[in-house]
Amino acid sequence: MLKPADDSFAEILRNRLPEGAFRPLEPRYLEEPRGRFQGQGGLLVAPANTAEVALVVRVCRDASVGVVPYGGGTGLVAGQVMPEGPAPVILSLERMNAIREVLPEENVLIAEAGAILENIHTAAEAAGRLFPLTLASKGSARIGGNLATNAGGVNVLRYGNARDLCLGLEAVMPDGTIWRGLSRLRKDNTGFDLRNLLIGSEGALGVITAAALKLFPLPAARATALLAVPDPQAALSLLALAGDLLGPSVSAFELIGGQGLAFLAETGLRERPLFDAPTPWCVLIELDLTESDDPSAPLEKLFVAAMERGLVEDGLIARSEAQRNEFWDLREMLPEANRRIGSISSHDISVPLGAIPEFIHRAGRAVAGVGPLRVNCFGHMGDGNLHYNIFPPAGKSRQEFETDRPRLNRLVHDLTHELGGSISAEHGVGRLKLSDLQRYGDPVKLAAMRAIKNALDPTGIMNPGAVVPTENRG
């Protein structure tokens, strides 16, 4: 049984850590962006270095006090907020935000877990390099959290997700020992893959304190287009064609539905229509090029080939950085439009690429069976990752459909599961999807997860209730 981080426990920690490690527990540490989970308190500790993190974890382990690692607080599945149970230590990495080293010739950057993602971008660019992991919350998300949740974003198609961009980790294990695995190696086959076990474990197996990250050459140019496609099947064929014609230069392939464009108009986020005729679907495609002369040429080639095959109906190629930004704004305003309209339920799913058209078709039919609802389906099609959000009809509010949420959740996830998909493509499990994982997860994998959790964290102090249910342990 875990114990609360009460006054006497705080006293123990205060005797062993500098005063600077203790900060006021502002409300933001108990909240999460979607407002569905609310922390009940805890002791906020912000260590200055890895040794202090190790000390905190050791003291917590000895006292059976839970530890909730806290990065930028931008996670969408409440991995960073513990709404029940004895008050934990909230272990914020905010003071460990140094970029320790940039090695452009090796294409490596070493950052502490609390480094803000956007600052890592800046440091890489200053050395003529690209760190390609990027997402909407880059200005506040911290790399430790990005790795703990194996963050995705818009560049996964070409560069991979957080997991693929990490060469080595330094981490504090649940017993307070420090794993010094900050390797810069591209190849290392010495034993079980502890790095990938910690990445994506959402703080349930340890606290990441620093990471060695992969850098890439900065693209000499970027080329960006919006292509109107008749349906998701055409978008899928366009993706394959782009791979054949343009190879690894395709860095983003985002699907945008006509409903999303309509939402932008409805919410006033964008007045002017993009294409002459309304389009049911469009694709935002971007290339990272190593040549800067005539960057539009490859997209023109793709456009012509796709027109010949009937895959696209119209298209716009960005002729300036301003136009490129306009295209991306369109994509990136979709979440804001969704927020303004107010979704009944939101889903971060992935299915095998070939199953995307079937998923969209069948999910649409099933949702229509519940009522005259609207669906904004968009996302990282190149990765098979769709954000599938369901809204009330025009003029109605989400509150009227509150009781439909569990049913909608169930039908979207049932279909995802039937098609061999994942109910959490890039956001993680956290606490929000804990019961969904128990329902849909492979039982052998779930058993292995429990065994590993018990083996590495027998006291169950690490992020209690996240990813692995507390009741099944011990």
* Interacting residues with a second copy between 216 and 235 (CB under 8 A): 216-217, 219
3-state secondary structure of 301: helix
Rg (CA), the chain: 23
Q: To the nearest whole angstrom, how small is the minimum distance from the Cβ of residue 274 to a second copy?
A: 27
Q: To the nearest whole angstrom, how small is the minimum distance from the Cβ of residue 402 to a second copy?
A: 26
Choose the binding region for a second copy from 30-38, 256-264, 277-285, 453-461 (rule: CB under 8 A): 453-461
Q: To the nearest whole angstrom, how small is the minimum distance from the Cβ of residue 27 to a second copy?
A: 27
Residue written as token pair 């343009």: 246
- 50 lies in the binding site for a second copy (CB under 8 A): no
- 49 lies in the binding site for a second copy (CB under 8 A): no
Nearest to 96 by CA among 47, 62, 136: 47
- 446 lies in the binding site for a second copy (CB under 8 A): yes
* Alpha-carbon dihedral sign for residues 79, 81, 84, 88: positive
Exposed, middle or buried by CB within 10 Å (0-12, 13-18, 19+), for 190? exposed
Nearer CB in complex with a second copy: 146/224: 146
- 439 lies in the binding site for a second copy (CB under 8 A): no
Question: What track of x and - describes contact with a second copy for positions 264 through 303 (by CB under 8 A)?
Answer: ------------------------xxx-------------
Residues between 189 and 208 that touch a second copy (CB under 8 A): 189-194, 196-197, 199-201, 204-205
- 252 lies in the binding site for a second copy (CB under 8 A): no
Please report which helix (H) or strand (E) contains residue 145, including its range.
helix 143-148
Nearest to 11 by CA among 81, 59, 71, 72: 59
Rounded (5°) CA angle 162-241-334: 50
Choose the binding region for a second copy from 16-24, 102-110, 259-267, 318-326 (rule: CB under 8 A): 102-110
Q: To the nearest whole angstrom, how small is the minimum distance from the Cβ of residue 104 to a second copy?
A: 8
Residues between 329 and 358 that touch a second copy (CB under 8 A): 350-354
- 149 lies in the binding site for a second copy (CB under 8 A): yes
| CA-based end-to-end distance of the chain | 9
What's the CA gap between 39 and 407, in Å, rounded?
27
Burial 91-121, CB ≥16 within 10 A → b, else e = bbbbbbbebeebeeeebbbbbbbbbbbebbb
- The DSSP line for 317-372 is E--SHHHHHHHHHHHHTHHHHHHHH--SEEEEEE--GGGHHHHHHHHHHHHHHH-S
- 372 lies in the binding site for a second copy (CB under 8 A): no
- 474 lies in the binding site for a second copy (CB under 8 A): no
Exposed, middle or buried by CB within 10 Å (0-12, 13-18, 19+), for 403? exposed
Residues contacting a second copy: total by CB under 8 A? 97
Nearer CB in complex with a second copy: 341/425: 425
Q: To the nearest whole angstrom, how small is the minimum distance from the Cβ of residue 257 to a second copy?
A: 19
What's the CA gap between 437 and 453, in Å, rounded?
16
Q: To the nearest whole angstrom, how small is the minimum distance from the Cβ of residue 395 to a second copy?
A: 35
Nearest to 18 by CA among 68, 54, 59, 52: 52
Q: To the nearest whole angstrom, how small is the minimum distance from the Cβ of residue 234 to a second copy?
A: 12
Question: What track of x and - describes contact with a second copy for positions 53 through 92 (by CB under 8 A)?
Answer: ----------------------------------------
- 426 lies in the binding site for a second copy (CB under 8 A): yes
At 222, give phi and psi (nearest 5°). -125, 145
Residues between 123 and 142 that touch a second copy (CB under 8 A): 128
Q: To the nearest whole angstrom, how small is the minimum distance from the Cβ of residue 171 to a second copy?
A: 9
